[in-house]
Structure 1
Amino acid sequence: MTTHRYSNPRFNPARYRRFEVINKRDRRWPDQQIQVAPLWCSVDLRDGNQALIEPMSVAQKQAMWGLLVKMGFKQIEVGFPSASQPDFDFVRWLIEANQIPADVTIQVLVQARDELIERTYEALEGVPRAIVHVYNSTSPTQREKVFGLDKAGIIAVARKGAAKVKAEAEKHPETQWTFQYSPESFSGTEVDFAVEVCDAVIDVWQPTPDNKAIINLPATVESAMPNVFADQIELFCDTVKKRDSILISIHTHNDRGCGVAAAEMAILAGADRIEGTLLGNGERTGNMDIVTMAMNMYSQGIDPELDISIADEIIATVESCTAIKTHPRHPWVGELVYTAFSGSHQDAIRKCLAVQKDEAYWDVAYLPIDPQDIGRNYQSVIRVNSQSGKGGASYLLEQAMGVTLPRWVQIELAQPVQKQAEQQEGELSTEDIVRVFRKNFMTSHGQLQLDSYQIDSHGGEHRVQAGLNDGSNIRLVHGHGNGALSAFTDALHKALGITVQVVQFDEQAVSEGSDAQAIAFIQANINGQRFTAAAQDEDTLSASMNAILAVVNQALEQQAAVA
């Protein structure tokens, strides 16, 4: 009888084979350093979108496209146009609406099948330049258990697909074409066979140093340590044909939590290009996180050639388009990564900041980069001793008001509570804490008050008309957006010239019954600064709109004080 160490008999590591390592005695990549950023290709609109429970709407795709262009991506995979009508239509919109900047190349994915390749070129008609990315699976598991093909059969599929891609491109000489091939599940494929398949494709395409093809090597499922993947990449680069005429691209996934590490080691091993998604959205545990890898480079003094300084906008757009919240401990850009809860950490940060010179290399304890570089501030990290009592103050306030404070509101509340405690030189009562909260975050006075509003929606677009009371007149403002709140912020921007970028938002019911109240919490970026506010109302939408007006009033009051 088999005995088991664990209570679940299925939890048995003997069921799994260890990944075979490569016996490579001449490995060079451990001695290399990353000197410059790779070529980046975002696959948010294809691989990332494919992994969503609810695929992006047209408006969300357009918003994501705008963000990627703004960040500086020069290659963007925009869809799988032969697989779905929405992807086909989005590619056509990009081309027909002239949305592709002169320095940006779109990429589309297609299986190595004739009818799908033909449909792909239909979608691309009239595009000034494009990357056509064709693939077929090559691993033993895929070829034997899924496709029932031997090695020769897999090579034949790849060669036929490559020939079809080339033939269709020749029908459109007005377009600047780049061909890309992926041996899908490369990391699970014997390296010598992956080279053989790719060599067959290269023989068909005949790339040159002046007209390179892209060979993309995916860790479709991450199954080995990143150093093993680096060995695979270095061996491939050493043995593939026409290395000077191809770009080696990497597409890692994060099944082992090492997607970024594998991509970084692949660069050391000779890769030229990285595919990934913003914040790592993707199938299973996700794709390689481009924001993390780019910030890793930035923290080492390397220009990532992507604008990550707009971190709040990146997070807001990705969350809006994917409906996936960013973890507060997400590397570099999570809401808590520059917050020190430990008193000793706070003290060390404060002392380092006091002696940090602008012209010197950044060297601050517990802060690997200056948070201001990505639009953050020191409000959370230099509150020496202000964290003590934060949990208790939040608990008393929650009990008194019947709400649950979001973590980011708790952090903002700590400073005025500590200040009040110091002024009173004694313990604060529950009533004192409620007064502090209302004074700092729920003030009813201000330059602008919501008088009325009307919301209409059609085809996923919301339009708002709101009356704003400025103390002497009622001013009507109009806006539109993907939702009611985005329509309202659009109206404020058009009427006041103020851009409200919502960073955090939370809405809760305060009580139950016919007189139920709602409270909305908001943190927004206005003119490069964050403001936090809350508003309460019987109408949930009114509460949200009043919360937005509260942060706008805070910003206006600050502007007036400076003036």
Structure 2
Amino acid sequence: MPMLKRASDKYSAFKGPSLPDRTWPSNKITKPPRWLSTDLRDGNQALASPMNPEQKWTYFQMLVDIGFKEIEVGFPASSEMDFQFAQRCVLDGPPDVWLEVMTPCRKDFIRRTVDAVKGAKKIIVSLYIATSDNFIDTIFSTTREAQLRTAVEHARYLKAVTKDDPAHKDTTWALMWSPEAFSDTDPDFAIEICRAVKEAWEPSAEVPIILNLPATVEMSSPNIFADQVEIFSRGFSGDPTVCVSLHNHNDRGCAVAAAELGQLAGATRVEGCLFGNGERTGNVDLVTLALNLYTQGIDPGLDFSDLPRIRQIVEQLTQIPVHTRAPYAGDSVFVAYSGGHQDAINKGFKRWNATADDDKHARPRPWKVPYLAMDPHDIGASYEAVIRVNSQSGKGGIAWVLSQALQLEAPKAILGAFSLAVKSESELKGRTLLPNEVTNLFLRQYNVQSQDQRVLSLVKTALNTSDSGSLVRVETVILVNGLARQLVGHGASTLDAVRFGLSAFADCRLEFTCTFGMPSAGFVNSDLPESSVIAIVMCSGGGRTTWGVKAAGTEEQATLLASLSAALFPVVQAAA
């Protein structure tokens, strides 16, 4: 069936609550929420091939390493596997981590769940019941009043077999109560049923009840969800025995935004999965939510310093690839292909790095690099992957690659000419060029590794004079129009000596400037050792500007070879 011309014949706009005096738009997030990972339950049940116990244990340990202090470990009453896994987490998991286990309002399930976590230090029992009129009518054919009675009855039962039971006196018990499908529930009824459950459970300020608000299906735009959360939060305003929590799904693609606005509206805890795994379109993405805080200057309390490794583990265990455009974690997040973006990023990095030289105390510098929301290094990404060169790239992208691979700040004239060769190579291959391919093309294009056949001999000598201090003497024999010519020059440096000798030879004043580079660790080229020095020399005089690019074992040797190449055998020429 095709899409309807009049969508209103089949679908109606969600009717949110009225809240003209809403306050959340003026609030700011200043600290992280309590985090709970539900990867091992909600995320696991959404997998085509659910994780086996060893895989779940690997995932659990990763969550602990990241810094999660609340982890949902499963649905112990649903299967023997989940029951045993919960027991393993109790026995082998760290004692400072709250283990959350889920059960519906069924006394046999509650009993089985409590048995699974016997001996634990800290346990959150997640109870839930449907509160949406649609769920109550369609699924259960019951009433609000009946649901409320059932909720209170089971909260009391849970209390009796946990914190009121002397057999469990060494365990700290917390209740998380969820009005299922809160996003489609009358806020007044949500408050009513949660108040009744709270009174039955009798929480304390030390261990508050968690009132969890599931957007079981995302029904509206984030601002309407925030209104719902604020109305609910007002119902428990100032109550230290209550923690308002969020469990957002992503049916409309707004889970992250809804969770952020929900915090502005009063929630102080968030449940979700790494990279947004979960049923249908997934739960809220905790990686994005946490790093959004980080890039606003707020420590999220979760460590994603090695995000590529975390992503690799998650992809292996869930068999779900992280999208290439996923925030922060995707392969293409920090990558720029277009020339304009590349130039801006390259300039941004230069300015940012320059501030390091001005900071005597080596404090972190404010991050202000165009197009990059954060420093890739902070989450374990490399700078080499920031810019990819293809036929759409410009001088800025090529400059970036050369600076990363060769630590070389190539002049614009060199880059302008070289960019044409790069575009041609990319079009010929029909793909993006790897950094090593760009760099090796540069070395070939300008004969950087080749010995200049017109330099027949070259001798540099250090001279000590009593009057003027140390001098450098350069003697070289070069071929000019097929004839061997001797050139001799003196100067305070190699560049001065070459300038002196060549100026006399050319019968005009020549000026030289030099830029140096050196292969970075990891650059692969068998003909160019890491200890090599690359010199780019610009020679100006006689109405023209020429360039030479050479590599050698020392700065002086590379300077000498590049200077001769620039003056006599230029690889680039432009109007002076």
Please, what TM-score do these two structures have when normalized by structure 2? 0.68
Q: 2:29 aligns with which of 22, 26, 34?
A: 34
Residue of 96, 100, 108 corresponding to 2:93? 100
Whether the 8 Å CA contact 2:248–2:255 is kept in 1: the answer is yes
CA distance, structure 2, for counterparts of residue 531 and residue 284 of structure 1: 42
Deviation, 1:558, is: 8.7
Equivalent-residue separation in structure 1 for 2:249 and 2:521 (angstroms) = 34
What residue identity is the alignment partner of 2:97?
V
State how far apart, in whole Å, the 1-side matches of 2:428 and 2:337 are: 20
Instruction: Check 1:424–1:298 CA distance in 2 against 1; reply closer, same or farther (3 A cut).
Output: same
Q: Tell me the residue number matched to 2:19.
A: 24
How far residue 134 of structure 1 moved from its aligned partner, in angstroms, is 0.5
Pairwise CA distance, 1:22: 1.8
Encode CA deviations 1:94-131: one digit per residue, 9 max, x unaligned: 223xx221321100010011110011011011112100
Counterpart of 1:373 in structure 2 is 378
**Aligned twin of 2:10:** 15
Match of 1:335 among 331, 334, 354: 331
Tell me the equivalent position of 1:202. Answer: 198
Candidates 405, 414, 435, aligned match of 1:415: 435
Note if contact 1:198-1:240 (Cα within 8 Å) is conserved in structure 2: no
1:139 corresponding residue in structure 2: 132
Partners of 1:60 and 1:320 within 8 A in 2: no
CA 11–126 in structure 1, closer or farther in 2 if over 3 Å, else same: farther
Partners of 1:338 and 1:332 in 2: CA distance: 8
Distance in 1, matches of 2:97 and 2:26, equals: 34
1:325 CA displacement:
0.4
Aligned residue for 2:72? 77
- Specify the alignment match of 2:309 in structure 1: 313
Instruction: Confirm or deny: 8 A CA contact 2:176 2:211 kept in the other structure.
Output: yes
- What is the CA–CA distance in structure 2 between the aligned matches of 1:390 and 1:181, rounded to whole Å? 61
Q: Give the Cα–Cα distance (whole angstroms) in 1 for the partners of residues 371 and 151 of structure 2.
A: 50
Superposition deviation, residue 530 in structure 1: 11
Q: 1:275 to 1:531 in 2, by over 3 A?
A: farther
Post-superposition offset of 1:38 = 0.4
Deviations 1:390-414 (A, max 9, x none): 898578669xxxxxxxxxxx65x42
1:212 is matched with which residue: 205, 208, 211? 208
Identify which range, 195-204 or 167-176, moves more after superposition.
167-176
Q: Which of 127, 130, 134 is the equivalent residue of 2:120?
A: 127
Query: Which residue, out of 51, 55, 71, partners 2:46?
Result: 51
Q: SS of 1:368's equivalent?
A: coil
CA shift, 1:216, in A, is 0.5
Aligned equivalent of 1:425:
445
- 1:274 partner letter: V
The superposition leaves residues 328-360 of structure 1 with CA deviations (integer Å, 9 ceiling, x where unpaired) of 111011111111101111111111111112443
Relative to 1, partners in 2 of residues 1:83 and 1:312: Cα closer, same or farther, differing over 3 Å? same
Deviation at 1:208, TM superposition (A): 2.2
Give % identity.
41
Paired with 1:31 and 1:52, the residues of 2 have a C-alpha distance of 39
Q: Is the 8 A contact 2:346 2:397 kept in 1?
A: no
Which residue number in structure 2 is paired with residue 542 of structure 1? none
- Please list every run of 5 or more consecutive structure 2 residues that lacks an aligned counterpart in the other structure: 357-363, 389-395, 402-418, 448-519, 532-576
- Alpha carbons of structure 1 residues 93 and 11: separation in structure 2 relative to 1, 3 Å: farther
**Contact 2:255-2:283 at 8 Å conserved across structures:** yes
In the alignment, the residues of structure 2 paired with residue 128 and residue 203 of structure 1 have an alpha-carbon distance, to the nearest angstrom, of 24
Deviations 1:406-445 (A, max 9, x none): xxxx65x422222233233399xxxxxxxxxxxxxxxxxx
Q: What value does the CA root-mean-square deviation take over the aligned residues?
A: 2.7
Match of 2:287 in 1: 291
The equivalences for 1:376-395 within 5 A come to: 376-382=381-387, 384-386=396-398
What residue is the counterpart of 2:182 in the other structure?
186
The 3-state SS of whatever aligns with 1:180 is strand
Q: Are residues 304 and 8 of structure 1, via their aligned partners in 2, closer, same or farther at CA, if it must alter by over 3 Å?
A: closer
- Give the Cα separation in 1 of the matches to 2:104 and 2:160: 15
Deviations 1:66-87 (A, max 9, x none): 1100000000000000011211
Match of 1:249 among 245, 248, 258: 245
Looking at structure 1, the residues matched to 9 and 103 of structure 2 have their Cα atoms a distance apart, in angstroms, of 38
Q: Deviations over 1:459-511 (max 9, x none)?
A: xxxxxxxxxxxxxxxxxxxxxxxxxxxxxxxxxxxxxxxxxxxxxxxxxxxxx
Q: Secondary structure at the match of 2:316?
A: helix
Aligned length: 417
Closer/same/farther in 2, CA of residues 67 and 530 from structure 1, 3 Å limit: farther
In the TM superposition, 1:142-541 aligns within 5 A as 142-169=135-162, 170-171=164-165, 172-240=168-236, 243-356=239-352, 357-358=355-356, 359-382=364-387, 384-386=396-398, 413-425=433-445
Measure the CA separation in 1 of the matches of 2:521 and 2:247.
36
